[in-house]
Chain A
Amino acid sequence: MKLKTLMLGACSMLAIAGTAQAQSTTLTIATVNNGDMIRMQSLTEDFTTKNPDIQLNWVTLEENVLRERVTTDVATKGGQYDVMTIGNYEVPIWAKQGWLLPLDNLGADYDVDDLLPSIRSGLEMDGKLYAAPFYGESAMLMYRTDLFEKAGITMPEDPTWEFIADAARKITDRDANLSGICLRGKAGWGENMAFLTALNNSFGGRWFDENWKPQFDQPEWKESLQFYVNLMKDAGPSGASSNGFNENLTLFQQGQCGMWMDATVAASFVADPKNSTVADKVGYAMFPSKEGVDNHGNWLWSWNLAIPAGSTKADAAQKFISWATSKGYTELVASKESWAAVPPGTRTSLYENAEYKKEPFAEPTFKAIQAANITKPTVKPVPYIGGQWVSIPEFQSLGTTVGQLFSAALAGQTSVDDALAQAQQVSTREMTRGGYIK
């Protein structure tokens, strides 16, 4: 009798536990360790209070590890993640592979038309949204207003590379450890090649012609790469070939750069008086273009939330994505922290907000994002989409290989001509191997 009672009790406990588990859904969210993402994690109580049946588990990883990790999982349908943070480089490739679920149930008040058209267009396939942007960025020019004033130079709103090169050489003061310009030099498809691809776009060049033939043997690449190497030699910091975003950010914050061209998200860091010694002396302008070429590089990046096809919790995942990328979330961040802390570059309404417009970087960021068009990155026709990257799976490895060649040219280990010849050879081989060149 006692045993029977015990068994019955145990069964009821199990049943209760089972029901409780069935009611509660746990979402596993993979994300990068960026300031905006960390802030989101600290604010999720707002979401879980509104959705008590959904629990959140966070997996935060370094960008490259995360990319490799989620690619493995999504390609093998491992089902380890319910929401993934991916770039706009991955979205079209993964959507085409059938690796992502369409976001068709984001709620009535989501206002999908409020998403910035340039960002949204990179996340759609056949009219369906496959990822929702969490924050977006383009590239712009950040410069030291005090140094420009001292040198008697006025920065135009829409500068040309010729102007930038002159100004950089004038400002450079090697004795004072001041470089006229800081640009990325560290090898990597997301490091120096992001900048150099945008630079080459603004010179009228392209990665591939309409038949996927690499274009490193064309005059635009020669001109843009030579321009970059010469400029960095005359006005760049020492050891520039190992500088990426973080290194240049530090140099700029410490007052060792006259100008810096990089992602718009940098603006909130250089304007932060807690970490930057030049916070009140920073001006912003458009990413330069070459005289006679109407192109500002078309740099466009967004970190987006997407649901892998292997997830069995798509409904709950869509609820979370809707919350994290909504107008309500931006208001939540503004109320808990400040308007400067709101994730930028995804919604038109943010740039119409009078409070947000007071931030000095809001308007230049908006202009830079609006000017970017990843479907037509350069003046000549191309068979790919992508501004500072090319939307083919081979680009990560090819971009990094070419990045290493160009980084070596910057370091003076090889000539510009040799680097371009090798880049042409390597990319022709890879594109032939990949079946792009018949």
Chain B
Amino acid sequence: MARTASTGQKIAWTVVAWVIALVIFFPILYTIITSFKTEPEAIAGISLIPSGTFQNYIDVETQRDYFRPFMNSVIISLGSTVLALIVAIPAAWSMAFSPTRRTKDILMWMLSTKMMPAVAVLVPIYLLFRDWGLLDSRIGLTLMLTLINLPIVVWMLYTYFREIPGEILEASRMDGASLWNEIVYVLTPMAVPGIASTLLLNIILAWNESFWTIRLTTTNAAPLTAFIASFSSPQGLFWAKLSAASTMAIAPILIMGWFSQRQLVRGLTFGAVK
């Protein structure tokens, strides 16, 4: 029997939800507000009313090229996501539908690579990239981000695939579907919400990744994370410009997230209610 909430309860929950959402969103909101302030205003203290200057955006645009890092971010995050999905879908399929005694161990091992601090492998990776000529290249960075996010992608897909009844796949096999047809025509369409949310989340993760993207690039492949980092300064007032640069860097992913929130929420809550 479904419980019915009173109007008062509904209003209370709505207010709570809005307050939580505002608290979570506040840093981003404040960054956007600060980007429209002058430098002395930005550092003067908390104020939600900017003077409305666009000078910071003009300064950021004239000081550094925005387009190249933007394109690098797009290519690297999309490229690494597609590559990760190509590897992860068959891997998650095999683990979900043909598990062995060691499947759980493999999954844990994959996840354990995320537990190591990235800086611990900085020098070996840097040397490999140097020797293979991958430093400051989009291909190198795409590969790196693919490998970094692969464990999460496999885990997410594995969780979604487990929700799909194995009998449906069996039925397709009995109808004579090959392995390829089974994955492409039966499994994938059924897992679309899960794959979509994995794809979106992976794009966001790749877009925001800053450790490797800053350390393995100089100019040619430097994405928007490096663009933001270039506006941080130890001496002088650059908060407003830094905020403008950050706003420009997060705007594309924020807009993408806004439009795809339905898919994101659907995917993230997929299988939550049985």
> In the complex, are the beta carbons of B234 and A62 less than 8 A apart?
yes
A172 to chain B, nearest CB (A): 21
Question: Counting CB contacts under 8 A, is A349 at the interface?
Answer: no
- B39, B43, B218, B226: the one contacting A81 at CB < 8 Å is B218
**A59 in contact with B218 given A32-B234, A34-B236, A80-B136 (CB within 8 Å):** yes
- A41, A59, A68, A254: the one contacting B222 at CB < 8 Å is A59
> In the complex, are the beta carbons of B39 and A32 less than 8 A apart?
no
One of A9-17, A198-206, A245-253 contacting the partner: A245-253
Question: Counting CB contacts under 8 A, is A28 at the interface?
Answer: yes
A330 to chain B, nearest CB (A): 19
> In the complex, are the beta carbons of B238 and A33 less than 8 A apart?
yes
Question: Counting CB contacts under 8 A, is B177 at the interface?
Answer: no
A400 to chain B, nearest CB (A): 14
Residues of chain A within 8 A (CB-CB) of B123 are 72, 75-76
Residues of chain B within 8 A (CB-CB) of A63 are 233-234
Residues of chain B within 8 A (CB-CB) of A275 are 39-40, 237
Question: In whole angstroms, how far apart are the Cα atoms of A61 and B228 in the complex?
Answer: 9
> In the complex, are the beta carbons of B233 and A76 less than 8 A apart?
no
Interface residues of B in 29-49 (CB under 8 A from A): 39-40, 43-44
Interface residues of A in 416-430 (CB under 8 A from B): none
Question: Counting CB contacts under 8 A, is A242 at the interface?
Answer: no
> In the complex, are the beta carbons of A34 and B233 less than 8 A apart?
yes
Question: Counting CB contacts under 8 A, is B126 at the interface?
Answer: yes
> In the complex, are the beta carbons of B218 and A246 less than 8 A apart?
no
> In the complex, are the beta carbons of A33 and B130 less than 8 A apart?
no
Residues of chain A within 8 A (CB-CB) of B63 are 38, 41-42
Residues of chain A within 8 A (CB-CB) of B126 are 72-73, 76, 78
Question: Counting CB contacts under 8 A, is B219 at the interface?
Answer: yes
Question: Counting CB contacts under 8 A, is B229 at the interface?
Answer: yes
With most chain B CB atoms within 10 A of its CB, the pick from A38, A75, A190, A249 is: A38
Produce 1/0 per residue, B53-79, CB < 8 A to A. 000000000011000000000000000
> In the complex, are the beta carbons of B229 and A254 less than 8 A apart?
no
> In the complex, are the beta carbons of B238 and A60 less than 8 A apart?
no
A39 to chain B, nearest CB (A): 11
Question: In whole angstroms, how far apart are the Cα atoms of A269 and B234 in the complex?
Answer: 13
Question: Counting CB contacts under 8 A, is B82 at the interface?
Answer: no
> In the complex, are the beta carbons of B230 and A33 less than 8 A apart?
yes
> In the complex, are the beta carbons of B233 and A32 less than 8 A apart?
yes
Q: Tell me the dominant secondary structure on chain A's binding face.
A: mixed
> In the complex, are the beta carbons of A269 and B214 less than 8 A apart?
no
A contact residues, range = 35 or more
> In the complex, are the beta carbons of B229 and A62 less than 8 A apart?
yes
Residues of chain A within 8 A (CB-CB) of B40 are 253, 275
Question: In whole angstroms, how far apart are the Cα atoms of A60 and B122 in the complex?
Answer: 20
Residues of chain B within 8 A (CB-CB) of A79 are 130
Question: Counting CB contacts under 8 A, is B232 at the interface?
Answer: yes
Question: Counting CB contacts under 8 A, is B235 at the interface?
Answer: yes
**A263 in contact with B218 given A72-B122, A78-B130, A250-B43 (CB within 8 Å):** no
Question: Counting CB contacts under 8 A, is B127 at the interface?
Answer: yes
Residues of chain B within 8 A (CB-CB) of A246 are 43, 234-237
- A33, A41, A266: the one contacting B232 at CB < 8 Å is A33
**A62 in contact with B233 given A57-B218, A76-B127 (CB within 8 Å):** yes
**A72 in contact with B215 given A60-B64, A269-B236 (CB within 8 Å):** yes
B271 to chain A, nearest CB (A): 41
Produce 1/0 per residue, A21-46, CB < 8 A to B. 00000001010111100100110000
Question: In whole angstroms, how far apart are the Cα atoms of A63 and B238 in the complex?
Answer: 14
With most chain B CB atoms within 10 A of its CB, the pick from A65, A77, A79, A265 is: A65
Chain A residue with the shortest CB-CB distance to B42: A250
Interface residues of B in 224-256 (CB under 8 A from A): 226, 229-238
Interface residues of A in 56-92 (CB under 8 A from B): 57-63, 65, 68-69, 72-73, 75-81
Chain B residue with the shortest CB-CB distance to A28: B218
Residues of chain B within 8 A (CB-CB) of A78 are 126, 130, 135
Residues of chain A within 8 A (CB-CB) of B230 are 33, 59-62
Residues of chain B within 8 A (CB-CB) of A76 are 123, 126-127, 130
Question: In whole angstroms, how far apart are the Cα atoms of A263 and B64 in the complex?
Answer: 28
B211 to chain A, nearest CB (A): 10
Question: In whole angstroms, how far apart are the Cα atoms of A350 and B127 in the complex?
Answer: 44
**A245 in contact with B235 given A65-B214, A69-B214 (CB within 8 Å):** yes
Residues of chain B within 8 A (CB-CB) of A253 are 40
Q: Which residues of B are interface residues toward A (Cβ below 8 A)? A: 39-40, 43-44, 63-64, 122-123, 126-127, 130, 135-136, 214-215, 218-219, 222, 226, 229-238
Give 29 CB contacts A-B under 8 Å: A28-B218, A28-B219, A32-B234, A33-B230, A34-B233, A34-B236, A35-B235, A57-B218, A59-B219, A61-B232, A62-B232, A62-B233, A68-B215, A69-B214, A69-B215, A73-B126, A76-B123, A76-B127, A77-B130, A78-B130, A79-B130, A246-B237, A249-B237, A250-B44, A250-B237, A269-B236, A269-B237, A275-B40, A275-B237
Nearest 10 A-B pairs (CB), nearest first? A60-B230, A62-B232, A33-B233, A57-B219, A63-B234, A250-B43, A80-B218, A78-B130, A59-B218, A35-B236
Extra pairs beyond A34-B234, A34-B235 (13, CB < 8 Å)? A34-B233, A34-B236, A38-B63, A42-B63, A57-B218, A63-B233, A65-B229, A73-B126, A76-B123, A76-B130, A77-B130, A80-B218, A246-B43
